Amino acid sequence: MKFLVVGSGGREHALAWKLRQSPLADRVFVAPGNAGTAIDAENVPIQADDLAGLVRFAKQEKIDLTVVGPEAPLAAGIVDLFTEEGLKIFGPTKAAAELESSKIFCKHLLRSAAVPTAEFHTFASRQEAVQFLTAREDEPVVVKADGLAAGKGVFVCENRQQALQALDRLGNELEFGTAGQRVVLEERLHGEEASVLAITDGRTLVTLPPAQDHKPAYDGDRGPNTGGMGAYSPTPVVPTDMLHWIEEHILVPTVHAMHRAGRPFRGVLYAGLIITRQGPKVLEYNVRFGDPECQPLMMRLQSDLAEVLLAAVEGRLDRIEPLRWDPRPAVCVVMASAGYPGAYKKGFPIRGLDEAANVPNTKIFHAGTALTPEGQIVTAGGRVLGVTALGDSVAQAKLYAYQAVKCIRWDGAWCRKDIADKALPFRL
């Protein structure tokens, strides 16, 4: 069979690497991919937002299954387009992807399904939100842009003044486009965060082991928010009984509510959760694999990914064997360019990749990398590599990952030093 992975990050490298291991796979293409996917699969020079180009390629190559990494093509309707053309594709339709692309839609759906989430109000304009804030008591509040804003559309505010500033900033069209025209104001919650992902065909749900992301840029969760500076799985923040509770009270009711809303959900349902004293609550839904959560998950998955994704697309997840997972934890440390998540330069040669690949139980997933015509691997993005390792304990996996990180050098390379430390107190 032939597979096509759409995207170019660490998530897509991990998906392509895992698909390549399937006995079903003859060829695995990645569009547009990076230097790592050029080694583990075959790159195709088509951008992830060139939906017509992707359809053309899939038809011409007779691709058996396309797997979409990022949210933007899903929100733009890539699944609807492929399906109309009779092409198999894993992911939600445009209407179902609104669970991620419209926070207002998501919040109303959660309310209708009685899924635990922060109390909220939605506003058709920023002006209405300003009036609401001015009229009520001054207390902490979270301001969220309704639309997709690459993780930058959320402001956790201490007081009214900060919230008004956030609303003002969302009006900057250069930064947020139309994403901030409508807004959500939300109760501020407290607790550890975790990511719980499930693969669903719209009727049956296969929940993956819980993971934890590290969104703030610097150690100790300080600094600006990023796409994610590292992740590990499983996380003791979500013990097994809690995972079952989340499945029953959060994921299943969401899938049912999407059905009732006439938007059956197929693909990855990714709950961004906060574990409050009242229990887990949904902060947001994503409609795709998490990046970097996907890297430790693929490292641990022992079942055939191709078989699972095909079963999801063909509506027969109820008939597959339970997924098999390596019991060992996996830790992924993201190495980033100087300046990220702000502006950064590209094109620095990356050294030490071969040496790093010799560290036991380790895989270097590429994200923002490119191959020069001379065959040199250089930096080409903010998040450059996801150095991922398995170990008998989280501490050992972390040790291997950082041992490999130490081998890798380029001008300005940096990473957080405390990935997975949140798991360590649970061992006491």
Nearest CB to ligand GLY, comparing residues 182 and 215:
215
Nearest CB to ligand AMP, comparing residues 64 and 284:
284
- What's the CA gap between 21 and 179, in Å, rounded? 39
DSSP H/E element including 262: none
Phi-psi region of 387 (alpha: psi -120 to 50; beta: other; left: phi over 0): beta
Nearest CB to ligand GLY, comparing residues 40 and 291:
291
Phi-psi region of 245 (alpha: psi -120 to 50; beta: other; left: phi over 0): alpha
User: With binding defined as CB under 6 A, does residue 235 bind ligand GLY?
Assistant: no
How does strand 192-200 pair with strand 205-207?
antiparallel
Among ligand AMP, ligand GLY, none, the one that 219 touches (CB under a kind-dependent 5 to 8 A) is: none
Structure token digits, residue 352: 């030490």
Shortest separation between residue 361's beta carbon and ligand AMP, angstroms: 29
Contact between 366 and 385 (Cβ < 8 Å): yes
428-to-51, 321, 330 alpha-carbon distances in Å: 51, 35, 20
Among ligand GLY, ligand AMP, none, the one that 71 touches (CB under a kind-dependent 5 to 8 A) is: none
Shortest separation between residue 284's beta carbon and ligand GLY, angstroms: 8
Among ligand GLY, ligand AMP, none, the one that 100 touches (CB under a kind-dependent 5 to 8 A) is: none
Among ligand AMP, ligand GLY, none, the one that 230 touches (CB under a kind-dependent 5 to 8 A) is: none
Shortest separation between residue 281's beta carbon and ligand AMP, angstroms: 8
Phi, psi values for residue 400, rounded to 5°: -65, -45
Nearest CB to ligand AMP, comparing residues 133 and 283:
283
Dihedral through CA 36, CA 37, CA 41, CA 45, nearest 10? -130
- What's the CA gap between 416 and 80, in Å, rounded? 39
Shortest separation between residue 129's beta carbon and ligand AMP, angstroms: 15
Nearest CB to ligand AMP, comparing residues 54 and 142:
142
Shortest separation between residue 266's beta carbon and ligand AMP, angstroms: 22
The secondary structure of residue 122, as a DSSP letter, is E
Please tell me the count of residues contacting ligand GLY according to CB under 6 A: 6
When CB distances to ligand AMP are compared, the closest residue is 284
User: With binding defined as CB under 6 A, does residue 212 bind ligand GLY?
Assistant: no
Give the range of 30-38, 171-179, 284-292, 361-369 binding ligand GLY by CB under 6 A: 284-292
Nearest CB to ligand AMP, comparing residues 189 and 199:
189
The secondary structure of residue 320, as a DSSP letter, is S
Give the range of 19-27, 234-242, 289-297, 318-326 binding ligand GLY by CB under 6 A: 289-297
| Among 73, 230, 234, 290, contact with ligand GLY (rule: CB under 6 A) | 290
For residue 400, how far is the Cα from the chain centroid? 23
Residues that bind ligand AMP (CB under 6 A): 118, 142, 151, 154, 156, 186-189, 193, 215, 272, 283-284
Residue among 383, 387, 410 at smallest CA distance from 9: 383
Structure token digits, residue 51: 């939906």
User: With binding defined as CB under 6 A, does residue 100 bind ligand GLY?
Assistant: no
User: With binding defined as CB under 6 A, does residue 12 bind ligand GLY?
Assistant: no
User: With binding defined as CB under 6 A, does residue 228 bind ligand GLY?
Assistant: yes
Question: Cα dihedral sign for 106, 111, 112, 115?
Answer: positive
Contact between 331 and 389 (Cβ < 8 Å): yes
- Type of residue found at 342: G
Q: Return residues touching ligand GLY (CB under 6 A).
A: 213, 228, 286, 290-291, 293
